[in-house]
Structure 1
Amino acid sequence: MQVLQVVNQRNGLKAAEVAAETGIPRPTVYRLLETLEGLGFVGRDHSSDKWRPTLQTKSLSSGFRDEDWVSQSAVPEMVRLGREILWPLDLVIFNDHRMEIRESTHNISPYSIDHGMVGLMLPVLETAGGRAYLAFSQEEESAQTIRGLLAKERQTHPVMLSDGPLEYVLEQSRKLGVGFRREGYRLATQSISAPIFRDTRVIACLTIIWTGSALSFDSAVERYRDKLVATARRISLALEQV
Structure 2
Amino acid sequence: MSESSYHSVRGLERGLAVLRAVNALGHATSVEVASRTGLPRPTVHRLLETLRTEGFLRRTSLRDAYRLTLKVKSLSGGYKDEDWITDIADAVLAELCDEVVWPTDITTYEDEGMVIRSTTHYRSPLSIERSWVGRQLPMLSTAAGWTYLAFTPAKERKAILERIATVPGPDQEKMRDPEAVRRALAATRRRGYGTRQRELMAKTSSIAVPIMNGAHVLGCVNIIWIDSAMAFDVATRRYLPVLQHAATRITAAYQALTAT
1:70–1:204 Cα contact (<8 Å) kept: no
Q: Does 1:105 align with 2:120?
A: yes
Q: 1:146 maps to which residue?
A: 161
Inter-CA distance 216–116: structure 2 relative to 1 (3 Å threshold): closer
Q: Does 1:63 align with 2:82?
A: no
| 1:187 Cα offset (Å) | 1.2
Distance in 2 (CA, whole Å) between partners of 1:199 and 1:71 is 21
Matched to 1:96, the amino acid is: D
| 1:172 Cα offset (Å) | 2.1
1:195-210 maps to which residues of 2 (within 5 A)? 195-210=210-225
Matched to 1:95, the amino acid is: E
Distance in 1 (CA, whole Å) between partners of 2:119 and 2:222 is 9
1:131–1:170 Cα contact (<8 Å) kept: yes
| 1:85 Cα offset (Å) | 0.5
Q: Deviations over 1:22-72 (max 9, x none)?
A: xxxxxxxxxxxxxx9xx99xxxxxxxxxxxxxxxxxx94412122111342
Q: 1:75 maps to which residue?
A: 90
Q: Deviations over 1:62-112 (max 9, x none)?
A: 121221113421111111111101000011111111111111001111101
Q: 2:104 maps to which residue?
A: 89
Residue of structure 1 aligned with 2:177, choices 152, 158, 170: 158
Q: 2:30 maps to which residue?
A: none
Counterpart of 2:92 in 1: which secondary structure?
helix
* 193-202 vs 100-109, greater mean Cα deviation: 193-202
| 1:183 Cα offset (Å) | 3.6
Is the radius of gyration larger for structure 1 or structure 2? Answer: 2
2:198–2:227 Cα contact (<8 Å) kept: no
Counterpart of 1:94 in 2: which secondary structure?
strand
1:192–1:208 Cα contact (<8 Å) kept: yes
Q: Does 1:230 align with 2:249?
A: no
Distance in 2 (CA, whole Å) between partners of 1:187 and 1:95 is 24
Percent identity over paired residues: 36
- Structure 1: which 5+ runs fail to align? 1-35, 41-58
Distance in 2 (CA, whole Å) between partners of 1:116 and 1:180 is 18
Number of paired residues?
183
Matched to 1:128, the amino acid is: A
Matched to 2:241, the amino acid is: D
- Structure 2: which 5+ runs fail to align? 1-8, 14-73
2:85–2:118 Cα contact (<8 Å) kept: no
Q: 2:64 maps to which residue?
A: none
RMSD of equivalent CA atoms: 2.3
1:1-242 maps to which residues of 2 (within 5 A)? 60-115=75-130, 117-153=132-168, 156-159=175-178, 165-242=180-257
Inter-CA distance 118–151: structure 2 relative to 1 (3 Å threshold): same
Counterpart of 2:129 in 1: which secondary structure?
coil
The one of the two structures with greater contact order (alpha-carbon pairs below 8 A, sep at least 6) is 1
TM-score by length of 1: 0.70
Distance in 1 (CA, whole Å) between partners of 2:90 and 2:75 is 21
Counterpart of 2:230 in 1: which secondary structure?
coil
Distance in 2 (CA, whole Å) between partners of 1:141 and 1:110 is 37
Distance in 2 (CA, whole Å) between partners of 1:60 and 1:214 is 49
Matched to 1:111, the amino acid is: L
Distance in 2 (CA, whole Å) between partners of 1:230 and 1:169 is 24
Counterpart of 2:256 in 1: which secondary structure?
coil
Higher helix share: 2
| 1:157 Cα offset (Å) | 4.5
TM-score by length of 2: 0.65
Distance in 2 (CA, whole Å) between partners of 1:126 and 1:212 is 16
Distance in 1 (CA, whole Å) between partners of 2:229 and 2:239 is 14
Q: 1:56 maps to which residue?
A: none
| 1:229 Cα offset (Å) | 1.0
| 1:200 Cα offset (Å) | 2.0
Counterpart of 1:169 in 2: which secondary structure?
helix
| 1:201 Cα offset (Å) | 1.1
